[in-house]
Amino acid sequence: MGDKLRLGVSACLLGQRVRYDGGHKLERFLTETLGPLVEFVPVCPEVECGLPVPREAMRLVGDPANPRLMTTQTGADHTERVLSWARQRAAELADAGLAGFILKARSPSCGIGDAEVCPAEGAPVVRADGLFTRILRQRCPLIPLWNEQNVRRAFHHPAPP
């Protein structure tokens, strides 16, 4: 069998304790079923751009086409920090021979069209790409992107009736 496929993956899905609360979101299907078949390239935008673990929770706010990444309690704006890191990291990943990327669903940095954006006060929440995903799509438009839910669905087809 030749070299393993290289897949980028949100580090929290591999069980790395990188989330805001010091936890992880281990997806055993990825590590136990896909893990022996692929080489994972873990990425955590928040940690890799220098934010600590644990850290204050963050959310996307403002214009859905150009949201800001703000902490929920103090309102600290980490947008430029994450975007600057994302541009550099996406350029590196473009040359890493990745066959695809598995990102954390609903994450303000990694969500694929499902990250909540809180527009103006009182306006309904809308969904968009997370900040890292937005940059990754721009820099690597041909790399397939999935979230952990899509991957599970793709490999766990229900039995035909």
The pLDDT of residue 121 is 74
Question: Alpha carbon of 88 to those of 136, 137, 153: distances in Å?
Answer: 10, 13, 32
Q: What is the pLDDT of residues 59-107, one digit of tens each?
A: 999 998 999 999 999 999 999 999 999 999 999 999 999 999 999 999 9
What angle, 0 to 180 degrees and rounded to 10, lies between the N-to-C axes of helices 79-94 and 131-139? Answer: 30
For the chain, domain boundaries: 5-154
CB 123, CB 67: distance < 8 Å:
no
111-134 average pLDDT score = 91
pTM above 0.75, yes or no: yes
